[in-house]
Structure 1
Amino acid sequence: MTKQNTPTSSLQTHLHFLLLLLLLLLPPHANSQSLQDQEQAVLLKLKSYLNSPPFLSHWILSKSNTSSHCSWPEISCTNNSVTKLFLDNKNITLPVPSFICDLKNLTVIDLSYNYLPGAFPKAVYKCSKLEYLDLSQNYFVGPIPDDIDSLPRLQQLILAANNFSGDIPPAIGRLQELENLQLYMNQFNGSVPPEIGNLSNLKDLNMSFNIKLVPWNLPSNFTKLKKLKTLWIRQSNLIGELHGTLGEMEALEQLDLAINSLSGEIPSGLFSLKNLSIIYLFMNGLSGEVPRVIESLNLSILDLSNNNLTGTIPEEYGNLTKLTKLALFFNGFSGEVPKSIARLPNLVHFKIFNNNLSGILPPEFGRHSKLEAFEVCVNRLTGKLPDNLCYWGKLETLIAYENHLSGELPSSLGNCSSLKTVKVHDNLLSGNIPSGMWTAPNLTSMLISNNSLTGELPEKLSSNLSRLEMRDNRFSGNIPIGVSSWRGLMVFDGGNNRFSGAIPQELTALSSLLTLSLDQNQLTGFLPSDIVSWESLTSLNFSQNQLTGTIPEKLGLLPGLTVLDLSANQLSGEIPVQLGHLKLNPFNLSSNHLYGKIPTEFENAAYEGSFLDNRGLCTTSSSAKLPMCNSESQKSSKLMSKSLALILSFGILLCLLAISISFFMVRSYWKRNGGLDSKWKLNSFQRLNFTASKILSELTESNLIGSGGSGKVYRVPVNRNGDVVAVKKIWKNENLEKKLEKEFLAEVNILSSIRHANIVKLMCCISSESSKLLVYEYSENRSLDLWLHRRNRPSNLLRSVHHVTLDWPQRLQIAVGAAQGLSYMHHDCVPPVVHRDVKSSNILLDSDFKAKIADFGLAKMLVKQGELAIMSSVAGSFGYIAPEYAQTMRLNEKIDVYSFGVILLELTTGREANDGDEHTALAEWARCHVQENKAIADALDKDIKEPCHLDEMCSVFKLGLICTERLPDDRPSMKEVLQILLLCSRPVLSREKTEHVASPLLQNSKHERTLEDDDGSLATNV
């Protein structure tokens, strides 16, 4: 039975319909106005909370109300309601406000690239609709909360480059909607939860550069991440073997597990992933042969370098048609290079150096792809270099030294304007250099020594060429007059060739030369006489030629000359006394026709082999193996009378000297006891809580803590609160007065104007006519030198602290602190400051082992940053002095970089700066260690070497080698050094936003280069 409609129900139906129609006809503004007002109030409250910064000056409400907050650039709205908040890169330093989620419809919060402090902001939990949270590149500390799963809708969680520590919480594995998880560059020192493998929707996972994680294996359930496209876990203490089930991660496109401690073989299933485009597995302990079944035809980068891989390079690599970079260097690969690889159409970088490869290089290399880097050195390759390496005009680097290559250099190099570096020394190459190669506009290094190359030197060279090493070849002809145009040349080594003719005077126009070697040739004529422009020259070798005439006196005016070899020529005349002003070692003038007395400075055993086979030379010292100059009897009486006169004069002088000394001793005694000067002047640079009299009364032997070349240092308590200062008292030796006066004024001038947390604070100076005192803040843990080198450590220091050895994290933080101080001096001071005496004993440590640069007595302000200045004398300490400074006294910031590099080597090896071997200091020892293919790990300090820190220590060791490059231009700046160290110790405050950290540790510097460019013996990229 059907129910009939009553009049009442019909009326209600009509009323509902009319009400609904009315609501539909009302403007949307009427429905949402209250929500907009509420959101505007929250945003203005946020602006006020941030102290109304300039970047939010446009957050104002229009009087006409025609534009709303939804038009502000930092805001995105949906249906007139705020859903996205972008406050990235705004220099915000305040914590995340608790009311941020009063914007109830927020789905996106981006606060990246700021300076947000404190713990993870749980205030965001109230944003129940949140899908995207980016807190990267800030200063958050502490653990990620265990209840992070309180944000169930989260799809993007980006917490990279902070200081989060502890464990990565298992609760992350319960964020089932998560697609992107970025945790790289933090301070996690706990474990990695296998629950991450439960994130079935995860597409991107980056946990790289978490070097403090407890050593961990890749969880087996990670292979269940079927949607994962990117897996980056570089340098994060990963150990163990790779799972064979990696091949089940069918969506994987990018894999980076480099710089870890993985072992075992590479699973074959990895190369069955058809979407895989990038594989970084370098610097692990992987072994065995590489898989030969290749189905990952999308591979564009394959880097398996620095492992223990063996066998042959698979021919199947020739099927990887999208491959742009193939790096297999530093392994044990053998056999021939497959011909199929030479036909790859997109190959740009080919690096297979330091293996056991043999056979002929496929001739098609370069014809099918735009090669930029071709590095095959230190193998057993034979035959010719491929003809078409620069077919497309893109080749920049050709490194093929230490092989058995023969034939001529490729003709394509003659038209290769992109070419920068050529290192083909130690081969069997012959023929002429392609003519256009000499003048390639970008060429900087040309190392072709120890071959059988022929031809003559050109009139013109590339203006950028700084190193030309061509010794042990068959080059002939004259040194061209056009050599004067080779202005950029710093190293010219043409020894053991067939050059003939005279040495042109035009050669002296090369003012940048550091090394000039033309020994073992057929040169004739005189040595150039006007050579003062060789002011940078450190090594000169013209031995085993047919040179005649005299030795130029002006050689003695070259300030940096330390190596001089003119032996086996036909030089005549006397040895210029000016040569005695030089510090020469080695020094060889043997097998010439020289005569007369040798300069007095050379009359010692160190130079006994320097003058052999010169029949006319004599000496006045019996220690030298030469005839005595006073052996002729007719000169005896004349010499006797002269000697008697000298003795009488000397006696008179001694009497006068004794009287003078007595006078000054008496005057000094009265000065010391206040008899001559009791007035002291105090100049303060800080607010002081002590007086000059308090300082003076405490300069007692019981408070003495050290002494050095410029004075004594005292530990002085200044009040009852336990405050302590350090006081340096300048020596009062009259002979040193002028020098120390300069040092005193330099230190006061510099320290009084510098304010930096990593530079020791000068509180005041106190001076009188007879004494000068510098009062500093006291550094409780004294100097880095005392902690690194136990034999230098006084027993009272050992008793006063708990640590006897600095562990690696402490050493790394000290390196960072010192780098911050030096970087400030070089890049932020106006004018810049060069310290000139950076060493471990001048890095002081406070009670928290915070580093502070000290002892500015030798510092020098530069007129212009990077500008060379000439010093009147070399200052510094052995082992720390940069070569160009010791040899030329030319001064810029790079001498401090060199010294700091030595400190990095001290920190990593535990050795002292002068502790190399019987012939070298630490920097040379470290370089030789690497050149001899010894493991870097073997050079590290055994007292602190732990597996969890090994990669980090190796990286800092390599950085030390880069900082101690022989040529200043090859060293990074202190700002670059600091950035690299920060990569090891805390997130990099880069302003360039990137999704992933993809470049190797040291390639963030513009100084991406080979470890050893000096003699080309090591080509590995750091």
Structure 2
Amino acid sequence: MKKSNLFSFHYLLTIFLIILIHAKSQSHYNLHDEEHETLMKLKQHFENPSKLTHWISSNTSHCSWQEIICTNGSITQLNLFDTNINQTIPPFICDLKNLTHVDFNNNFIPGMFPTYLNNCSKLEYLDLSMNNFIGKIPDEIFTFSNLKYLNLSYNNLTDDIPKSIGRMKELRFLALQACLFNGTYPDEIGNLLNLETLDLSSNSMFLPSKLPMNWTKLSKLKVFYMYDCNLFGEMPEPMGKMASLEKLDVSQNGLTGKIPSGLFMLKNLSILFLSRNNLSGEIPSLVEALNLTIIDLTRNRLTGKIPDDFGKLQKLTGLALSMNNLSGKIPQSIGNLPSLIDFKVFMNNLSGTLPSNFGLYSKLGTFLISSNSFSGRLPENLCYHGELLNLAVYENHLSGELPESLGNCSSLVKLKVYNNEFYGKIPSGLWNINLVDFMVSHNKFTGELPQNLSSSITLFDISYNQFYGEIPNGVSSWTNVVEFIASKNFLNGSIPQELTNLFKLEKLLLDQNQLKGSLPFDVTSWKSLVFLNLSQNQLNGEIPVSIGHLPSLGVLDVSENQFSGQIPSVLPRITVLNLSSNHLTGRVPSEFENSAYDRSFLNNSGLCADTEELSLTLCNSKTQGQSKDSSLSPTLIIILVVVSTLVVLLISFIIIKIYGKRKRGSDDYSWKLTSFQRLNFTESDIVSSMTENNVIGSGGYGKVYRVAVDGLGYIAVKKIWEKKKLDHNLEKSFHTEVKILSSIRHRNIVKLLCCISNEDTMLLVYEYVENRSLDRWLHKKSMKSSNVSSSVHHVVLDWTKRLQIAIGIAQGLSYMHHECSPPVVHRDVKTSNILLDSQFNAKVADFGLARMLIKPGELATMSAVIGSFGYMAPEYVQTTRVSEKIDVFSFGVILLELTTGKEANYGDEHSSLAEWSWCHIQAGSNIEELLDKEVMESSHLNGMCKVFKLGVMCTSTLPSSRPSMKEVLEVLLNCGELFAYGERNIVGHNVNDGVPLLRNSKRECKLDIDDNDS
């Protein structure tokens, strides 16, 4: 009986287990079907993206799809990154009830942050980066209580980061990089005690804020990136308590004060980026930071010596201390570091000899020590391991011969050793390795030029040395050279015909040598040539007619030679021309008979001209063998045509006015006001106040009035006569300015409040800018209006204000070029179009000539050249091509005006300030002698020199040689205070008021500029 009962029990148990297994199997089967159905529904919602074509309704298990990861037969991970999704994420995605991991990175998903994803109750990983989400991160973000990983980077999120994010206690990874946040970040992030990675970098629109002290509690944080986030103030000293920190980057901010010494006590720290701030003081002792692999303290105000402790960092691969005020020697122990790859200390006050072991124990790749005061020889073993790429030691006092080992350094790409005291011959191997930049100018090198030169070299600068001999016939093999600069050497012989084989040449400078003979007859292969300077040689014969057919030539100087014959009758539109001190004869071509070329033909006794402006003998038609038309002269014909046209226009204008009055009778004009923001005045308030007593000046197309309005004080009104039927260009100009100014907002661009128009008249209403235009201050232009206080005449536009103005203009232009879509090119940047408010903040104005480019960097060609003499870029004058670089040229002229005090059309032996400055550079002038004596002080000297050199760079004839406005602005911003006080003269700061302490001695400014190594 007992045996039978036992059997029955086992039987029932077996039946129960079978039923249970079947039920579980049935449940699993149902879950699989539900999840499969959800995936197909998801695919349909996303409109069947091409990358999901393998998602099909079949018996194939979806767990095998590459986007799906299952655990125990159920979906836990959904990876739909880079799938071209452009639809919102649907709420039913949380029907996948076991989801822990969701990745939608790199799609085009629109809309607000999908708060409903908190219904995915098991979600631990959420990546929505690189999409098109907009708006604010919702306060409900804290409801994602299980999240350990959250990445919302590269979206269009705005406003504040919510405080509630500090309640997500499980977070290990938080990335909000490169969004559009324009508010603040909360202290509460410091409550995320499990956080290991925090990346808020590239959010420059954050409101200016300090690093929260509360964040120093993040003891588990390993990676902290907050570069370019508008930080200011000092770094919290307790950052040394963040014991797990391995990578720290808070560069490109406005941080000030000393570097917290606790940072260098972090045993796990391996990467430290503090560059491009205003940190000051000495570098603390490293103490415990032995695991550091990268240190970047570039562009700060660090002083004192490089600590010997750097020599203890055996894992250090990169050390960047450039653009500071460091002094003293480089510790010998740094040369012994076994892992060092990148070494950058350019632009400091370092001196002494270099450690001899540099490169011997490590695979050195970058060695940048330029703009210091190092002396002695270069270390012999810089390329010992054959991996050196970039060698920049220019602007020092280094001497001796170049190490012979550099001739075997096949890895080397850039060689920049100019402005030193090197001598001897160039190591023979250097001519033939794969260099791109070969820059050895301003030394005492000797020897002959090689027959063969590496085909990779594009910039070949050997000027101001002692090279001798002929230009070799093998020069024809230098096929990729773009700039051949050999000024001021002892080269002799003739210029070989083979030189014309260099069809990529843009700059050829062979001046101040001993070259003889005639020029090659055919130079038409130089189609890209912009600069040609052969002055101060012994060349003879005629100037080849083929030079007149070079399409890009903008600078031609063959002065102080023995050329004879006539000037070629066809020449390109040359900006700088100097044919002085030769034996030329005949008539000056008519295109050069104006005051811009009044110094171009001096000391040629056989030349004559038809105008007295050139200070040459007036031509006699009989003696010159050229007949003149006995009928009306071209000049008289032009005058008659102009007078006739004006008469017709005047009559037409009178007829239109009479017709308009008859049409309207005695009624007032019907004015239409188009507002671009909230206003507290009407069109009648404006029109009724436009009286002669309120005129403050004249713009390009009419008068400008100052009108008082309630709440705003004053506004400026530009009155434009439209004349639709008579002046189509005027109408276009008006609508251009309205279109541009109504669509852009920037503190350094004049604000357009509204426009008012009727059938005959157009009015533009701007914010009133109290101090009027920059030219009135800089060049003491008279202020004729009684509406401007006479006190302005007594204010000195000192260097501090001038630098402030330069930065403001650069900010406005940089915004136009790099942040507007499409970019805006002003086309008429000049001091009279720069307005100054009561605090001398600059505002770019007068956009009547501005043009929008279709694509960034795309050239547009205008049908006519419109601009102001002295400010126009040469390529714009010659080809009417428009790009952002024409504004860069004009801004460069303004920098030259700010530093020299001279006007843009200034010239003694040349026709403009830009050309005058370039010629002084080429002549090796001391910049100090060129600066405005009224504002030049010892504490400002180097700052003014730097801005002058930046102006010269901006006015380069080649557009490709000019920096972008973004780069120009970066230079001005990062060096602002250093420019103001003279970066080489700051030795410390007063402990009481923080005023910089300046060195008494002055240093001569150097001409050479090269910021490509940074």
* TM-score in same-fold range (> 0.5): yes
* 2:561 matched residue in structure 1: 569
**Which of 217, 220, 227 is the aligned partner of 1:224?**
217
Residue in structure 2 matching 1:39, options 27, 31, 35: 35
**Aligned mates of 1:923, 1:42 — CA distance in 2:** 74
**Residue 78 of structure 1: aligned partner:** 71
Give the aligned residue type for 2:438: M
1:452 match? 444
After the TM superposition, which of the residue ranges 87-96 and 497-506 deviates more from structure 2? 87-96
> What is the match of residue 549 of structure 2?
557
Query: Are the counterparts in 1 of residues 849 and 866 from structure 2 also a CA contact under 8 Å?
Result: no
Match of 1:896 in 2: 883
Q: Which residue of 2 aligns with 1:546?
A: 538
The aligned amino acid for 2:89 is: V
Distance 2:14 2:300 in 1: 79
Partner amino acid for 2:409? C
Matching residue of 2:49: 53
Q: Does the C-alpha gap of structure 1 residues 1015 and 557 become closer, same or farther in structure 2, counting only changes over 3 Å?
A: farther
Name the amino acid aligned to 1:578.
S
- Specify the alignment match of 1:105 in structure 2: 98
Higher relative contact order (CA 8 A, sep 6+): 1
Distance 1:225 1:550, change over 3 A: same
1:517 paired to 2:509 = yes
Mapping of residues 623-1022 of structure 1, within 5 Å: 623-626=613-616, 647=630, 649-650=631-632, 779=739, 781=741, 815=817, 818-820=820-822, 883=874, 889=879, 896-899=883-886, 918=906, 919-920=912-913, 967=958, 1017-1019=1009-1011
Q: Does the alignment pair 1:482 with 2:478?
A: no
Q: Cα distance, 1:546 vs. partner? A: 2.2
Aligned length: 833
Pair 800,578 (structure 1): closer, same or farther in 2 beyond 3 Å: closer
Tell me, in whole angstroms, the C-alpha distance in 2 between the residues paired with 1:94 and 1:360: 63
Partner of 1:118: 111
Query: Would the alpha carbon gap of residues 622 and 916 (structure 1) be closer, same or farther in structure 2, given more than 3 Å must change?
Result: closer
Q: 1:409 aligns with which of 379, 383, 402?
A: 402
1: distance between equivalents of 2:102 and 2:534?
71
Aligned pair 1:330/2:323, yes or no? yes
Per the TM alignment, residue 455 of structure 1 is displaced from its structure 2 partner at its CA by 0.6
> AA paired with 2:152?
L
Shift of 1:504: 1.2
State which of 186, 196, 202 in structure 2 corresponds to 1:203.
Answer: 196
Describe the shift of the 1:89–1:585 C-alpha distance in structure 2 as closer, same or farther (beyond 3 A). same
Distance in 2 separating the partners of 1:262 and 1:603 = 57
Residue 265 of structure 1 deviates from its aligned partner by 1.0
Question: 1:916, 1:922 within 8 Å by CA — same for their partners in 2?
Answer: no
8 Å CA contact 2:870–2:905 kept in 1: the answer is no
Please report how far the alpha carbon of residue 661 of structure 1 lies from its aligned counterpart in structure 2 after TM superposition. 11
Structure 1 residue 454: Cα displacement = 0.3
Using structure 1 for the length normalisation, give the TM-score. 0.69
Contact 1:423–1:1016 under 8 Å retained in 2: no
Corresponding residue for 2:580? 589
For residue 178 of structure 2, the aligned residue among 177, 185, 200 is 185
Contact 1:898/1:965 (8 A) holds in 2 = no
The alpha carbon displacement at 1:307 in A equals 0.3
Displacement of 1:461 in angstroms is 1.5
Aligned residue number for residue 486 of structure 2: 494
CA contact (8 A) 2:575 2:874 kept: no
Structure 1 counterpart of 2:499:
507
- State how far apart, in whole Å, the 1-side matches of 2:594 and 2:163 are: 74
Once the two structures are TM-superposed, the CA of residue 799 in structure 1 deviates from its matched residue by: 7.3
Aligned mate of 1:348, from 341, 345, 349: 341
User: 1: distance between equivalents of 2:27 and 2:75?
Assistant: 15
Q: Contact between 1:282 and 1:303, CA under 8 Å: does it hold in 2? A: yes
Q: Distance in 2 between matches of 1:10 and 1:291?
A: 83
Deviation at 1:371, TM superposition (A): 2.0
Task: For 1:207, give the aligned amino acid.
Answer: L
Please state how far the C-alpha of 1:273 moved relative to its aligned partner.
1.1
Cα separation, partners in 2 of 1:24 and 1:966, compared to 1, 3 Å? farther
In the TM superposition, what is the alpha-carbon distance from 1:467 to its structure 2 partner?
Answer: 1.7
Q: Deviations over 1:899-941 (max 9, x none)?
A: 4766999999999xx997855579999xx9xx9999xxxxxxx
> Per the alignment, do residues 107 and 932 of structure 1 end up closer, same or farther by CA in structure 2, a change over 3 Å counting?
farther
What pairs with 1:410-425 in structure 2 (closer than 5 Å)? 410-425=403-418
CA distance in 2, matches of 1:534, 1:524: 21
1:298 touches 1:322 (CA, 8 Å); kept in 2?
Answer: yes
Q: CA deviation at 1:568?
A: 2.8
Structure 2: distance between partners of 1:786 and 1:212: 13
- After TM superposition, the score normalised by the length of structure 2 is 0.70
The CA distance in 2 between the partners of 1:477 and 1:616, in whole Å, is 33
Gapped regions of structure 1 (runs ≥ 5): 1-5, 675-701, 710-725, 734-739, 744-770, 823-834, 843-852, 935-957, 981-1013
Partner of 1:339: 332
Q: Deviations over 1:648-673 (max 9, x none)?
A: x4499999998999999999999x99
Aligned 8 A contact 2:100 2:123 in 1: yes
SS of alignment partner, residue 361 of structure 1: coil
Q: 2:861, 2:913 → 1: CA distance?
A: 26
**Against the structure 1 CA distance between its residues 659 and 145, is the aligned structure 2 distance closer, same or farther, given a 3 Å change threshold?**
closer
Q: CA deviation at 1:95?
A: 2.0
Q: Secondary structure at the match of 2:238?
A: helix
CA pair 539-215 structure 1, distance change in 2 beyond 3 A: closer
2:133 to 123, 127, 140: 140
Once the 2 structures are TM-superposed, how far is the Cα of residue 869 of structure 1 from its aligned partner? 13
| 1:875-922 CA distance string (max 9 Å, x none) | 9887886655656x597xxx63524766999999999xx997855579
Between the aligned partners of 2:950 and 2:29, the Cα distance in structure 1 is 61
Contact 1:394 1:418 in 2 (8 A): yes
Contact 1:251 1:275 in 2 (8 A): yes
Q: Report deviation, 1:521.
A: 1.5
Match of 2:291 in 1: 298
- Using a 3 Å threshold, how does the CA distance of structure 1 residues 83 and 300 change in structure 2: closer, same or farther? same
Q: Secondary structure at the match of 1:318?
A: helix
Write the deviation string for residues 41-100 of structure 1: whole angstroms up to 9, x where unpaired.
2222222222333333322232xx3x3222222222111112111222222222221222
Q: For each residue in 1:411-435, what CA deviation from the matched residue of structure 2 results, as whole angstroms up to 9, or x when unmatched?
A: 2221222222222111111011111
Q: Is the 8 A contact 1:839 1:899 kept in 2?
A: no
Post-superposition offset of 1:260: 1.3
Measure the CA separation in 2 of the matches of 1:100 and 1:595.
87
Instruction: Summarize the Cα distance change of 1:533–1:205 in structure 2 as closer, same or farther, 3 Å threshold.
Output: same
Q: 2: distance between equivalents of 1:354 and 1:657?
A: 58
Aligned twin of 2:941: none
- 1:113-143 Cα distance to aligned partner (Å, 9 max, x none): 2222222212111111111111111222222
Distance change in 2, residues 1:348/1:970 (3 Å) = farther
Task: Find the partner of 1:271 among 264, 270, 274.
Answer: 264
Unmatched 5+ stretches in structure 2: 657-686, 688-697, 702-719, 770-807, 834-846, 907-911, 929-948, 971-1005
Letter of the 1:390 counterpart: C
Aligned partners of 1:144 and 1:241: how far apart in 2? 28
C-alpha separation in 1, matches of 2:572 and 2:57: 79
State the secondary structure of the residue aligned to 1:286: strand
Q: Which amino acid aligns with 1:898?
A: K
- In 2 relative to 1, CA 817–597 (structure 1 residues): closer, same or farther, beyond 3 Å? closer
Provide closer, same or farther for how the CA distance between residues 580 and 549 of structure 1 changes in structure 2, counting only shifts above 3 A: same
Instruction: Tell me by how many angstroms 1:407 deviates.
Output: 0.8
Residues 445, 465 of structure 2: 8 Å contact kept: yes
What is the CA distance between 1:492 and its match in structure 2? 1.6
Deviations 1:17-56 (A, max 9, x none): 5565335654853231222222222222222222333333
